Amino acid sequence: MKNYKKGSVVPVLLVVIGLLIVGGGAYLFTQKIKTVKVTDIVPSGVASTSVAIISGEYIFSDMTGLAFLHVPNTSTVHYDTHYFFGDESSVLQTDVQSQIVGDLSPLSDSCTLSVEATVEIQNPKLILHGEKRNLKEYRATFLRLISKGKVYDNCAGDGGVVTKTERK
């Protein structure tokens, strides 16, 4: 009678050692991953009473008197954010607008003007969630303009399509 089990000890031992190595590596990898919970905080991760530096596009319209800093969604926050400056009674914050925009104005009533800007704000307070929870609006105290970049005209065309054109 032949003994077929004689040569099977080494392969079984190699499989067990391999499983231990793979399992141990997976365990160590998962222990290094930290979960971050996103709550109703300023998207940059600062508490609502602190000072924050944020970047986005300052958008305003002469016709509607609406002005805000638009911060598009990021990889950790799945909604766009709008920051309004000043108190509830002032829709168009002229001091902020004069610092960011200067004497520029939209091309026409059907256009808005947007300026890339980095600003310092304080005390952002959540005022509104969007209908589909993909937009959050904050009212904050504007402290200062840190930098500004390109200027764009956003004009509505046929079928409501908005064309964004860089102003030279």
Q: Write out pLDDT tens, residues 24-63.
A: 666 655 554 443 333 333 444 444 557 888 889 998 887 7
* pLDDT tier, 4 (very low <50, low <70, confident <90, very high otherwise): low
How far is CA 136 from each of CA 22, 72, 77, 162, rounded to the nearest angstrom?
43, 11, 11, 22
pLDDT in tens, 57-78: 998 887 777 788 888 776 565 6
**49 neighbors 123 (Cβ within 8 angstroms):** yes
Longest dimension (CA), the chain: 101
Over range 113-132, report the average pLDDT.
83
**pLDDT (0 to 100) of residue 3:** 59
